[in-house]
Structure 1
Amino acid sequence: MGKWLNKKSGKMLGAVVLATSLIVGLAGCGGSNNANNTAASATDNFNKEGLPIVNEPVTLKVLTMRWGNMGDTFTQNQWLKDLEKNTNVKIEWQVVSSNDWAEQKSIMLASGTLPDIILGDQTFSDSDIVNNLSYFRPLDDYIDQYMPNLKAAMAETPELKKISTFPDGKIYSLPTRLPSRPKTKNQPVINKTWLDKLGLQVPDNTDDLYSVLKAFKTQDPNGNGKADEIPYTETGLGMDFLNPFGITDINANNMMVKDGKPVYYPITDEYKEALKYANKLYAEGLLDKELFTQDASMTSAKQQNADAPIVGFTNQWTPDAVFGKWSDQYVTIPPIAGPDGKRYNPGDPNGMSFNRNELLITTSCKYPEVAARWADQFYTNEASIQNFWGAIGTVIKKNDDGTYSLMDPPAGTSADAWYWDQSLRDFGPKYVSPSFEQNIKLSEKTGDGLKLQLDKLGSDYVTTPYPNVMYTADEFKELPTLTTDIDTYVSTMRAVWVTKGGIDEGWDAYVKKLNDMGLEQLMKIRTDAYDRYMSVK
């Protein structure tokens, strides 16, 4: 069966053709060569240790999802080609596009005919897996018997096991620890050119920020003679704007951890005070009047306004990611101190680097021990960096002193686009040991290296996030109804209180309505999931 994505045209197969190909082409997963499969079934063909994994070639079907029309050029990564040669495990890649994957996925799960391996955490979600557990093999025994690299990684970094353990205590999907990831997520970014022109210092606390934004609004810092400056804009009131009040949320689920316990922060005093502060700024025109009505494209148009920079302050991953030709005017600054004198930065003290569901072995796969040993080859330092950036000799240069540096991308190509073209990038199993990261040399001016430099400004203030917990099938059934109603109401009232005020008068009724809508049950589900997560050793 051919690849599902034509990398030249990016056109996907129709649903009817796809349904037929799924049922016919994937029946008997384990490879299209029956002779190979028969050979693999003999005990003497499989090697529990060393390479090759099998003496006679075996073909495995590996499905992965890619964004948009990215295509399958990553399969030409030299490390992957060498892996096929060295292991005798031949891979038939089945590359699908995110544009059409939702429909294809529904057909696949309904038919129950899956390839041998599912790769990438965006391919199947937690709920896809939990609600279809019979399609996926528990991997605990395979890890113990056939995956020494992953087993050692889990011993060194327990977070890998915590994030991979499902509610029934078993591991169905394999994790990743991406290399050279920061601890911080978004950080405050300000127009330094405007500060310098107005003779202002970088704001240190919320009072300073108010004064600076007021100056941005009234003193024409872009010098075009127009009152077109927007001191702060975002698509909605980003929760990052509330960071100085102790509100941090990297998962957009209204949850945080305080004193070791899960907290639903939209009913906290800190949240209430943060919205009062936001209302004060909105009333004086310091927050974009279209804050709650614009979409991302409108926000981007303001950030990259053609004639002059018009945005003063925001929170971003890096300044160069959003401001286009004005990027040089913007700098990342330390977290703004709140009324309590403390600083809070959203992120993860363990690093923004962990994910689960990066590889699943299906129950359709006839040779799971072969698949497990193949997957384990990804869990070495050199394998991981080559599957995150690109192959050594193509994208990565291995230096004589044992360090690794990234080559410059081809002219006209961004570094990030090049890495996606050359590697699995964010997707798939990986593990880079924390001690190995000192050997990776990145440019401090762009991309991953720039973020690591900026990270130093906020890493000491990163809060412990509500973790990426796993829910049971029953919990997944309840969550959508609860979160849809509750989150919609919270968002609506946030917009009302920021734009019109009245939070003190309406607070008690707001909290009562949330409780009437099932907040207690939502918190029970979230707390139970948190306790399960924390109990994994």
Structure 2
Amino acid sequence: MINQIRLKFILGAACASILLMTACNDNNAIETDGSEPDQNIGSKGAMENFSVGDTFVATEPLNLEILYRDYPDYPYDPQWLLFEVLEEEHNVSFDVTSVPLSDWDERLSVTMATGDLPDYSTDIHVGDETDYIAGGQLLPISKYIEHMPHLQDRIDNWDGIEDQLNNLRYSDGEFYVLPGLRESPEMPFTLKYNKTVFDQYSIDEPQNWDELRSALEVLRDETDTTPMTLWWQGGSLLSFSSASFGTRGGWGLGDGAFYNDDDDEFVYGPMQDEYRDMITYFSELTADGLLDIEALTQDDQLARNKLANQEAFVSSGNVGTINMVNDSMNEIYGDGEYEFVRMPILEGPKGRRLHDSNFHNGKMFNANLAERDDFLAILQFLDWFYYSDEASEFANWGVEGITFEKTDELPGGYKPLDHIRFEHFNPGGEESLQEDYGFNNPGFAYGDPNHIALSIMSENEFVVQEYMSEAVEIVYPAPRYPMDPVQQEQATLLSTPLLDTVDQYTFRFITGQYSLDRWDEFMDELESQGAQELIDIVNEAYRNHQDTLGEN
């Protein structure tokens, strides 16, 4: 239903909470963590005076062992041009332990449990590192980013990065995962709509929730359908819409605690008026025949069929689901007869806002790296490869004249050569940029400046993302509130039944099974299940770690 992934979130939080802390003041600025630079760092193979704009070339051969998450759509190939260029032009080679995507979580866990992590692991998400910090297996990478000028440049010049990195710090003041960094948040999930049908009935693209309702009313009356359905049931919709109402919901609800920035404290989100406003809006869509009553229970294939068969014209989605629906419509009606496109994040009572971050999947490192005689060279390479504009272009597009060319014909300014297919480019190409060459691979290409991120998108997606990057206010992740084991056990026991109740009432309100007249009953139920007790625990943990931070 709405939040099937919550159990995993709660269990992860139980592990993460023991050490996590917030770092929100100048004492924990990225540049000055209070430690003296390590004068004994191994410098074999390192470049002298390495700085922003420099291309890294190891002065002696540099080899790195990596744990690599393999993707079935472009399986690992040691002969990829990506590796060839790195070795021939940058003097860097990899020994790769390739793990199938389906086995990744288990293999990562076993690798860490046995102490066999190679030099670093690709595809690490924030929180994956938590269980392994106490054992000393992981490198506190924050101690060494003074040697990474390209990363420092992005921290200094990209909005929100420093605060978000500081929010990763543990009770020792360090962070242990280095995420990919986007210049602008990705904003992957929004509504999508059948532009052809909107144009047919002279409906302008909605810019706010009221305009969406008006558009749906026209479609309902003109087509005799229920014009809006949902992909991923309600989880995505309530997540990406919630910030515009001033709350959190769906996939983004977490444990229910919502940070009130004005009061610098947490409240129980579903008990706030803003949550009621959001649920009221969507329940009224259902009541008026505008939102499909099956939308919160149907599987994705049924949603796809409804959109392709023109039984509905608006849905939650992302680029992937848009492509799926357009493919289906091309098969049914002929190429290009109908087209689904993205709708930008809509403005709500609190503005055009979205909960998001600048992070992408990242890396965690073996603590033994710090003992290597070429550690400085490793840091310089990682800095260039993952955080320089030059390497962002290389990792995503490859080599100019061999895999891509720059062009004025497309808004993104890049395109693969004619024989190479990639995303929406050259669908009939003989070779794949990813499968045959190893570029635009999530293991190596993530966290990009805007011009690279936008260059990969279709023209429609380019326009939407460029607009949203200017128009949408990003609400960054809330401060963390690490708990001791006793607090975490109490919080988990409280939050699990509370979230079940939130799911049940939210579902029944939106589908019309419950009248909104029963809202007070909903509030009473949450109160009786200990919502305030949970929030007291959260705020106590938050304050304790704010105090700890102030002492550091």
| Aligned: 1:317 with 2:318 | yes
Partner amino acid, structure 1, of 2:212? L
2:378 equivalent among 338, 351, 371: 371
Cα offset, 1:343, TM superposition: 3.6
Residues 431 and 274 of structure 1: CA distance in aligned 2, closer, same or farther (over 3 Å): closer
Structure 1 residue matching 2:75: 3-state secondary structure = coil
Rounded Cα–Cα distance in structure 1 between residues aligned with 2:548 and 2:153 = 21
Instruction: Answer whether contact 2:192 2:342 (CA < 8 A) is retained.
Output: yes
Task: Output the amino acid matched with 2:380.
Answer: R
8 Å contact from structure 2 (residues 404, 415) kept in 1:
yes
Q: 2:180 aligns with which of 176, 179, 183?
A: 176
**2:390 matches 1:387:** no
1:86-105 to structure 2, matched below 5 A, reads 86-105=89-108
Go from structure 1 to structure 2 and tell me whether the alpha carbon gap of 1:405 and 1:84 turns closer, same or farther (over 3 Å shift).
Answer: same
Report deviation, 1:530.
Answer: 9.9
Residue identity in the other structure for 2:499 = D
Q: CA deviation at 1:469?
A: 5.9
Deviations 1:478-511 (A, max 9, x none): 5765554333321122012222224434233133
Once the two structures are TM-superposed, the CA of residue 284 in structure 1 deviates from its matched residue by 3.3
C-alpha deviations, 1:86-136, integer Å up to 9, x for none?
554431011212201122122212211221122232598143444x55111
Corresponding position of 1:10: none
Partner of 2:306, secondary structure, is helix
Question: More displaced, 132-141 or 239-248?
Answer: 239-248
Alignment of 1:390-409 (within 5 A): 390-397=398-405, 405-407=414-416
**Count of residues in correspondence between the two structures:** 470
Q: Match for 2:503: what amino acid? A: S
Please point out which of 516, 527, 530 is paired with 1:515: 530
Conserved? CA contact 1:142–1:369, under 8 Å? no
Pair 1:323–1:277, CA change in 2 (3 A): same
- Sort the Cα spacing of 1:373 and 1:441 in 2 relative to 1 into closer, same or farther, 3 A: closer
Letter in structure 2 aligned against 1:355? H
Change beyond 3 A, Cα 1:300–1:419:
farther
Distance 1:519 1:410, change over 3 A: farther
What are the within-5 Å matches in structure 2 for residues 184-333 of structure 1?
184-203=187-206, 205-220=208-223, 229-237=226-234, 238-239=237-238, 240=240, 245-247=245-247, 251-253=252-254, 259-260=261-262, 261=264, 264-304=268-308, 308-318=309-319, 320-325=322-327, 326=329, 328-333=338-343
Q: In the alignment, what sits opposite 1:489?
A: 501
Match of 1:53 among 46, 58, 69: 58
Q: Structure 1 unaligned runs (5+)?
A: 1-40, 221-226
Cα distance in 2 between the residues matched to 1:430 and 1:505:
46
Q: Retained in 1: the 8 A contact 2:67–2:97?
A: yes
Distance (whole Å) between structure 2 residues aligned to residue 86 and residue 141 of structure 1: 29
**Could you tell me whether the CA contact under 8 Å between 2:189 and 2:317 is conserved in 1?**
yes
2:388 maps to amino acid: T
Using the alignment, how far apart are the partners of 2:176 and 2:222 within structure 1? Answer: 58
- Give me the whole-angstrom Cα distance separating, in 2, the residues matched to 1:118 and 1:520: 36
Quote the offset at 1:512 in angstroms: 0.4
User: What does the per-residue CA deviation read over 1:448-492, in whole Å, with 9 as the maximum and x for residues that have no partner?
Assistant: 654331135544552332417667584795576555433332112
CA pair 391-189 structure 1, distance change in 2 beyond 3 A: same
Asked if structure 2 preserves the Cα contact closer than 8 Å seen for 1:176 and 1:431, the reply is: yes
1:106 partner amino acid = S
Candidates 110, 113, 129, aligned match of 2:113: 110
8 Å CA contact 2:481, 2:542 repeated in 1: no
- Partner letter of residue 371 of structure 1? I
SS in 1 for 2:524: helix
Q: CA deviation at 1:331?
A: 4.1
| Distance in 1 separating the partners of 2:396 and 2:267 | 34
Deviations 1:182-217 (A, max 9, x none): 664433433333334445454555454334324433
Deviation of residue 270 (structure 1)? 1.6
Given that residues 65 and 98 in structure 1 are in contact (C-alpha distance below 8 angstroms), is that contact kept between their aligned partners in structure 2? yes
User: Cα gap change, 1:124/1:88 in structure 2, threshold over 3 Å: closer, same or farther?
Assistant: farther
TM normalised by structure 2 equals 0.70
Question: What's the secondary structure of 1:100's corresponding residue?
Answer: helix
- 5+ residue gaps, structure 2, are 1-39, 51-55, 330-335
Give me the whole-angstrom Cα distance separating, in 2, the residues matched to 1:207 and 1:504: 23
Whole-angstrom distance in 2 between the partners of 1:419 and 1:518: 53
Aligned-partner SS, 1:234: coil
CA gap 1:93/1:124 in 2 versus in 1, 3 angstroms? farther
Alpha-carbon contact 2:420-2:433 (below 8 Å) kept = no
1:62 counterpart SS class:
strand
CA shift digits 1:303-323 (9 cap, x unpaired): 33xxx3222222333483342
Q: Quick one: structure 1 residues 302 and 161, their matched pair in 2 at CA, closer, same or farther if it must change by over 3 Å?
A: same
Q: Does the Cα contact within 8 Å between 2:392 and 2:448 map onto a contact in 1?
A: yes
Cα separation, 1, equivalents of 2:72 and 2:532: 38
Quick one: which amino acid aligns to residue 535 of structure 2?
A: E
Identity within the alignment, %: 20
Shift of 1:241: 5.0
Q: Which residue of 2 aligns with 1:423?
A: 439
Note closer, same or farther for the CA distance 1:75–1:290 as it changes in structure 2 (3 Å cut). Answer: farther
> How far apart in 2 are the matches of 1:490 and 1:247?
14
Query: Residues 258, 185 of structure 1: CA spacing in aligned structure 2 closer, same or farther, 3 A cutoff?
Result: farther
Q: Conserved in 1, the CA contact under 8 Å of 2:124 and 2:361?
A: yes
Distance (Å, rounded) in 1 between the aligned partners of 2:398 and 2:59: 26
Q: Please give the per-residue CA displacement for 1:224-262, whole angstroms capped at 9, x wherever unaligned.
A: xxx555433333222145565344668453566554555
Q: How big is the shift at 1:386?
A: 1.6
User: Aligned partners of 2:492 and 2:458: how far apart in 1?
Assistant: 35
Give the 3 Å change call, closer, same or farther, for CA 52–384 of structure 1 in structure 2. closer
Q: Output the CA distance in 1 between the equivalents of 2:244 and 2:362.
A: 33
Q: In the TM superposition, what is the alpha-carbon distance from 1:272 to its structure 2 partner?
A: 0.8
